[in-house]
Amino acid sequence: MTAGPPSTDDILSLLRRRGDRVTASRRAVVEALLSGAHHATADEIATRVSEAHPEVHRATVYRTLDRLAELGVVTHVHLGPGPSTFHLNDRPHHHAVCSSCGSVVEVPLAALDDLTARLRTEHGFELSPQHFALSGRCRDCR
């Protein structure tokens, strides 16, 4: 893949290289993923797909997102109660969600390096903080 946000062709080429078929349905899912908000639920992506391609089944959207996650193209994260969201993995980051207003703050990966190292050294625990959001209150709500 290229530096920066991948294009539809970049992602479809990766699928081909990994032995996957590139179908019109998969192209529609990738295009919908790239066309919307940075963090979107599978249902939001499925809705975008169905608006342009009503013949694409929701299950195809979910399977395609799962495959893209396996390949490292997208990451899914739980930002709180409700469904997880997906985002491109071109800018890996952590998430902090305000418990008052729900705003999402993208936090650089390095922000948790000290905690990650300390947990590993002192407790033998390997932290995977990208999967869940940190909870707290944003600057405006404090």
Question: What is the H or E stretch that residue 69 is in?
Answer: helix 58-70
The mean pLDDT of 119-138, rounded to a whole number, is 88
Sign of CA dihedral 33, 34, 40, 45: negative
Q: What is the largest CA-CA distance in the chain?
A: 53
Residue 1 has pLDDT above 70, yes or no: no
| Segment 92-118, tens digit of pLDDT | 888 898 999 988 888 888 898 999 999
- Give the global pTM: 0.79
Q: What is the mean pLDDT of the chain?
A: 89
